[in-house]
Structure 1
Amino acid sequence: MANILYIEDDLEISKWVVEVLEEKGHKVNWLSSGEGATKIAREVEIAILDVMIPGLDGFSIGRRLKQEYPSLPILMLSARTSVEDRLQGLEFADDYVTKPFYPEELVARIEVLLRRFQQNQTEKVRIGHLDIFLEENRILDHEKNEEIILTGKQYQIFQYFLRHQNQILTKEQLYEGVWGESYLDGDKTLMVHIRYLREKLERDPAKPDLIETIRGLGYRLKI
């Protein structure tokens, strides 16, 4: 089931929509305005936006979300039924539902969008600010919307970490697992690669929160 961002200022409608979606097993992050939407959007699989909300309207928020998260499906809800409004919404949104609507219709529209976007994406793992597309050997910083390019050996080390998430790995395990050779005490090769890996992947390489050093033992990819 999906993790959903839902923005609507009408309390009665919001309660009804949240109840319908949660009955279907979805997790709903409900906001009454666009404040905080960008942050929450990092963790959701679809956004449902009402047009008429306090502050920035749904169109403005939707455009901002689509710019920052191009792969996030957006569904607009609105009492505006004119062709002009629908066209304005569909300039950036992936679907547009007019009020009033039946709950079955809303659920069906959501499921169609989720299937469409999932089919367009390869297998993806999200770790903190990183999206890892496993089949493409590609890493995206979804906060900056920038691709991170690793060298072959750096990616092999990161893949090894991914296969052993939250496990403490010794230098010997890492070296033998990636290089296929026995680790020689005092060899700085692995340490240098870890440093370069952190410089590319961490928000702050000086204070890494992904690849942890476990003093006296080794390293761990913390999820």
Structure 2
Amino acid sequence: MTYIKSCVILYIEDNEDIGKWVKDELTQRGYQVYWLLSGQDAQKYFDLADIVVLDIMLPGLDGFTLGKRFKKLRPQVPILLLSARTALEDKVTGLKFADDYLTKPFAPEELAARIEVLLRRNNFIETNKIKFGNHLIIDFSAHTVMNEETKQEIVLTGKEYQILAYLVKHANQIMTKEQIFEDVWEEPYIDGDKTLSVHLRHLRIKLEQDPDKPTVIQTIRGIGYRVKQ
């Protein structure tokens, strides 16, 4: 699965547990994330970044020093500071150059929301297209699926699109029938209900090069389904 174009985030955090968690959360939301443990090699990634998410307490150069340098080099790139330091003077110091300041601990939903606000404020337009299955492109903005080989749109029903979008957004994860059904239909799954299976069969007929040997939507016997990266 390949991102055709997505927002590039430079994320600098020396705590490996927090860093992995945040990177995974942002990647699942469609962002391309470069995660560094320090600012040592940040310059080459900074040139690619659409936004910087920066911890303040870092080994070597701290976040304040790095952030000021980044802002001088590319003033248009928004900077979001992360810190466990809640003192007013720290926030005031950070916001003299940064665009936002978020204190730890924080929920992933709040971090994502703040990133989206900064991107909108800076007129960043994201083409939220993902290539998967070697020949398919899903456009989350337009809610369409294209066959790259034939250059034709694959017409899906609303439920078919929702199922596919859910699986693509959770690529490489095995999602159970219960998880998929309850997300798409927003009601409890009843064991033995064939509704999801019927929709998946129709999806495979439209998406797979050989519906009898599916490679796009894989069945993990006894567990659920997966779109593999």
Supply the distance in 2 between the matched residues of 1:58 and 1:39 (Cα, whole angstroms): 17
SS at match of 1:77: strand
Cα distance in structure 2, aligned partners of 1:60 and 1:38: 13
Aligned length: 120
Counterpart among 9, 14, 32 of residue 4 in structure 1: 9
Q: Deviations over 1:101-134 (max 9, x none)?
A: 0100000000000010017x9xxxxxxxxxxxxx
Shift of 1:39: 1.9
- Tell me the distance in 2 between the aligned counterparts of 1:39 and 1:70: 16
2:43 matched to 1:22?
no
If asked which structure has higher relative contact order (CA below 8 Å, sep 6+), I would say 2
Secondary structure, counterpart of 1:96 in structure 2: strand
Deviation at 1:63, TM superposition (A): 0.2
The within-5 A match list for 1:26-175 is 26-118=31-123
Q: Deviations over 1:18-72 (max 9, x none)?
A: 0100010100000000012122111110000000010000000000000001111
Query: Which residue identity does 2:99 align to in structure 1?
Result: D
Percent of pairs identical after alignment?
A: 56
Alpha-carbon shift at residue 5 of structure 1 (Å) = 0.1
Q: Which residue of 2 aligns with 1:142?
A: none
Contiguous gaps of at least 5 residues in structure 1: 122-223
Cα distance in 2 for residues equivalent to 1:2 and 1:100: 24
3-state secondary structure, aligned to 2:76: coil
Structure showing the higher helix proportion among its residues: 1
Inter-partner Cα distance in structure 1 for 2:58 and 2:123: 29
**How far apart, CA to CA, are the structure 1 residues paired with 2:11 and 2:113?**
16
Secondary structure in structure 2 of the residue aligned to 1:118: coil
Provide the rounded CA distance (Å) in 1 between the counterparts of 2:65 and 2:44. 16
Structure number with larger C-alpha Rg: 1
Q: Report the Cα distance in structure 1 between the residues aligned to 2:118 and 2:59, rounded to whole angstroms.
A: 26
Q: Which runs of 5+ in 2 are unaligned?
A: 1-5, 126-229
CA RMSD of the aligned region, Å? 1.2
What one-letter code is carried by the residue in structure 1 that aligns with 2:59?
Answer: P
CA distance in 1, matches of 2:119, 2:7: 8
Q: Deviations over 1:139-158 (max 9, x none)?
A: xxxxxxxxxxxxxxxxxxxx
TM (normalized to structure 1)?
0.53
Aligned amino acid, residue 104 of structure 1? E
Moved over 6 A (4+): none
Give SS of 2:23's match. helix
